[in-house]
Chain A
Amino acid sequence: MIEFPLLSLLTFLPLIGAFFIITIRGDSESVAQNAKYTALYTSIFVFVLSLYIMLTFNPDNGGFQFKEKVEWLPSLGISYTMGIDGISLFFVMLSTFLTPICILASWDAVKLRVKEYMIAFLVLETLMIGTFCALDLFLFYVFFEAVLIPMFLIIGIWGGPRKIYASYKFFLYTLLGSVLMLLAMLMLYSQTGISDVETLMQNPVAANLQYVLFLAFFASFAVKMPMWPVHTWLPDAHVEAPTAGSVILAGVLLKMGGYGFLRFSLPMFPEASDYFAPMIMTLSVIAIIYTSLVALVQEDMKKLIAYSSVAHMGFVTLGIFSMTTIGIQGGIFQMISHGLISAALFLCVGVVYDRLHTREMSRYGGIVKNMPKYATVFMIFMLGSAGLPGTSGFIGEFLSLLGTYQVNILMSLLAATGMILGAAYMLLLYRRVVFGPAENRDALAMPDLNSREIGILAPLAVMVILIGVYPAPLTSRIEPSVDRLMAIYQTNIGKTLEPKKATLVDAEPLNDSSEPISLTYKEQAHD
Chain B
Amino acid sequence: MAFLSVFSPLIAFFFAFLFGKQLGDRGAQFLTCAGVILAAMCSCFLFVDVAINGHTQTILLMNWIDVGGFEATWNIRLDTLSVVMMCVITIVSSCVHVYSIGYMSHDPAKARFMSYLSLFTFAMLMLVTADNLLQLFFGWEGVGLASYLLIGFWNTKHSANSAAMKAFIVNRVGDFGLVLGMFTIFVVFGTIHFDEIFAVAPEKATVLFNFMGFQVHALTLACLLLFIGACGKSAQLGLHTWLPDAMEGPTPVSALIHAATMVTAGVFLVARFSPVFEYAPDALMVVCVVGATTAFVAATIGMTQFDIKRVIAYSTMSQLGYMFFALGVSAYGAAMFHLVTHAFFKALLFLGAGSVIHAMSDEQDMRNMGGIWKKIPFTYALMWIGSLALAGIPFFAGYYSKDIMLESAFADYTWFGHYAYWMGIAAAFMTAFYSWRLIIMTFHGDPRANKEVMSHIHESPKVMLLPLIVLAIGAIFAGAALYKPFVGGSSHHGADDHHLEVDLHHSDNETEHHNNEHDNDAPVLEEDHEDTTAWNRIGFWKDSIKVMPENDTVEAAHNVPKWVKLLPTIMGACGIFLAYVIYLWGAGLAGKFTKLFKPLHNLFFHKWYFDELYNVLFKEGAIGFGRMFSRTDKGVIDGLGPDGIARSAVCGGGILRRIQNGFVYQYAFIMMIGLICLITWVVFGGMQ
Contact = CB atoms under 8 A, between A and B. Distances in A.
Given A470-B64, A507-B207, A516-B548, A368 B155 contact: yes
A326 B279 contact: no
A183 B210 contact: no
* Residue of B206, B212, B284, B637 with most partner-chain A CB within 10 A: B206
Interface string B275-298: 000110110100000000000000
* Residue of B140, B172, B637, B663 with most partner-chain A CB within 10 A: B172
A55 interface: no
B65 A399 contact: yes
Contacts of A506: 207
B507 to A, nearest CB: 5
Interface in A468-527: 469-472, 475-476, 479, 482, 501-510, 513-519, 521-523, 525-526
Interface stretch (B332-340, B438-446, B621-629): B621-629
B155 A503 contact: no
B277 to A, nearest CB: 11
A389 B142 contact: yes
Nearest to A169: B642
B609 interface: no
B161 A436 contact: yes
A64 interface: no
A420 B176 contact: yes
5 contacts: A324-B68, A390-B141, A416-B179, A475-B67, A518-B548
Contacts of A175: 666-667, 670
Interface in B633-649: 633-634, 637-638, 641-642, 645-646
Interface in B263-319: 278-279, 281-282, 284
Nearest to A408: B212
B187 A504 contact: yes
A412 interface: yes
Given A410-B212, A437-B156, 13 more contacts: A179-B674, A183-B677, A326-B68, A402-B183, A470-B63, A471-B65, A505-B215, A510-B217, A513-B506, A514-B507, A521-B281, A521-B414, A522-B551
A295 B629 CA distance: 10
B285 to A, nearest CB: 9
B626 A294 contact: yes
A162 to B, nearest CB: 11
Contacts of A395: 65
B147 to A, nearest CB: 13
Interface of B: 62-70, 134, 137-138, 140-142, 145, 148, 152, 155-158, 161, 165, 168-169, 172-173, 175-176, 179-180, 183-184, 186-188, 203-212, 215, 217-218, 278-279, 281-282, 284, 413-414, 500, 503, 506-508, 548, 550-551, 622-623, 625-627, 629-630, 633-634, 637-638, 641-642, 645-646, 655-656, 659, 663, 666-667, 670-671, 674, 677-678, 681-682, 685
A360 to B, nearest CB: 16
Nearest to B148: A427
A369 interface: yes
Interface string A418-431: 01110110011001
A516 B165 CA distance: 42
B678 A416 contact: no
Contact of B156 (A230, A438, A505): A438
B15 to A, nearest CB: 15
A366 B622 contact: no
B479 to A, nearest CB: 29
A503 to B, nearest CB: 5
Contacts of B659: 164, 168
Nearest to A423: B172
A522 B68 contact: no
Interface of A: 164-165, 168-169, 171-173, 175-176, 179, 182-183, 186-187, 190, 229-230, 232-233, 235, 290-291, 293-298, 324-326, 329-330, 366, 368-369, 383, 388-390, 394-395, 398-399, 401-403, 405-406, 409-410, 412-413, 416-417, 419-421, 423-424, 427-428, 431, 434-438, 469-472, 475-476, 479, 482, 501-510, 513-519, 521-523, 525-526
A262 B670 CA distance: 27
B413 A505 contact: no
Given A388-B141, A389-B137, A297 B626 contact: yes
Contacts, number: 238
Contacts of A482: 68
Nearest to B639: A232
A182 B672 CA distance: 12
A229 B550 contact: no
A401 B622 contact: no
Contacts of A403: 68
A235 B413 CA distance: 61
Question: Which 4 pairs of residues, A with B, have the shortest CB-CB distance?
Answer: A325-B68, A525-B413, A297-B626, A293-B626
Nearest to A168: B659
Given A164-B656, A420-B172, A510-B206, A409 B211 contact: yes
A183 B157 CA distance: 58
B564 to A, nearest CB: 15
A190 B678 CA distance: 10
A60 B508 CA distance: 44
A525 B415 CA distance: 10
A290 B629 contact: yes
A345 B188 CA distance: 38
Contacts of A475: 65-67
A406 B627 contact: no
Nearest to A517: B281
A187 B681 contact: yes
Contacts of A522: 413, 503, 550-551
A233 B645 CA distance: 14
A521 B623 CA distance: 47
A369 B186 CA distance: 45
A230 B637 CA distance: 8
Given A164-B655, A518-B548, A390 B138 contact: yes
A313 B186 CA distance: 24
A368 to B, nearest CB: 6
Contacts of A171: 663
Contacts of A294: 626, 629-630, 633
Nearest to B549: A522
B674 A436 contact: no
Contacts of B507: 514-516, 519
A503 B210 contact: yes
Given A409-B212, A431-B165, A469 B206 contact: no
Given A389-B141, A405-B187, A416-B176, A326 B670 contact: no
Given A388-B145, A526-B503, A472 B66 contact: yes
A435 B161 contact: yes
Contact of B678 (A186, A479, A514): A186
Contacts of B175: 419
Given A187-B678, A521-B414, A505 B207 contact: yes
A179 B678 CA distance: 11
Contact of B68 (A187, A230, A479): A479
* Residue of B137, B184, B622, B646 with most partner-chain A CB within 10 A: B622
A519 B550 contact: yes
Contacts of A293: 622, 625-626, 629
B622 A424 contact: yes
B421 to A, nearest CB: 14
Contacts of A501: 187
A470 B73 CA distance: 10
B550 A518 contact: yes
A436 B158 contact: yes
A383 B168 CA distance: 11
A504 B188 contact: yes
Contacts of B503: 519, 522-523, 526
Nearest to A190: B682
Nearest to A425: B626
A330 B217 CA distance: 28
A165 B655 CA distance: 10
B176 A419 contact: yes
